[in-house]
């Protein structure tokens, strides 16, 4: 009988490393070292810089604190409990457009990695603005497709609309 602990790396992490031209095994090894609080001497400075530039995590060198923006292991939810509320916004309008948590979580994590200055509150307010502007519930996007679809991100567009609305005094007229 094996006593091995079975843990899978988060596929989002793998995608980020690969798309950032970081050798997968090198990047995962460095992330494991960070996760377990070790600092091996054989990890090149260039690799450290490249991995930290991906925004998978932030590292405060003054106190050694690490904050993961994307969990290292599959199934970990770090600060994404609110996505259920996000999905419910869609289901309140059209229950068939709620989406699945795993797809929403994967796409939302990728969205935050690509947009580190955006907060969950911005996402929720932009989504509410989008939903207010949907004329027919049957045409509302699936929640995960609202985040990312082949043509881009409607969420990103609606965050821009939300920012414009907020900066112009909250004008309630339709934005698109």
Greatest CA separation for the chain: 65
Q: pLDDT band for position 4 (50/70/90)?
A: very low
Residue 141 has pLDDT above 90, yes or no: yes
**Tens-digit pLDDT profile for residues 24-53:** 999 999 999 988 888 888 899 999 999 999
CA distance 47 to 24: 11
> Which of 7-16, 26-35, 40-49, 91-100 bottoms out in mean pLDDT, i.e. has the lowest?
7-16
pTM of the predicted structure, to 2 decimals: 0.55
């Amino acid at each position: 009988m094996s006593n091995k602990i079975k843990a899978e790396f988060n596929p989002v992490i793998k995608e980020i490393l690969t798309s950032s031209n970081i050798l997968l095994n090198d990047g995962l090894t460095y992330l494991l070292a960070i996760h377990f609080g070790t600092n091996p001497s054989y990890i090149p400075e260039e690799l450290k810089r490249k991995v930290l530039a991906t925004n998978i995590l932030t590292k405060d060198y003054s106190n050694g604190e690490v904050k993961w923006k994307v969990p290292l292991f599959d199934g970990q939810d770090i600060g994404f409990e609110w996505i259920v509320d996000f999905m419910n916004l869609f289901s309140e309008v059209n229950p068939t457009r709620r989406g699945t948590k795993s797809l929403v979580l994967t796409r939302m994590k990728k969205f935050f990695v690509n947009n580190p200055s955006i907060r969950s509150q911005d996402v929720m307010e932009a989504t509410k603005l989008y939903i207010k502007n949907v004329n027919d519930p049957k045409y509302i996007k699936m929640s995960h497709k609202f985040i990312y679809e082949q043509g881009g991100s409607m969420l990103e567009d609606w965050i821009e609309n939300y920012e414009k609305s907020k900066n112009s005094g909250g004008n309630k007229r339709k934005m698109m």
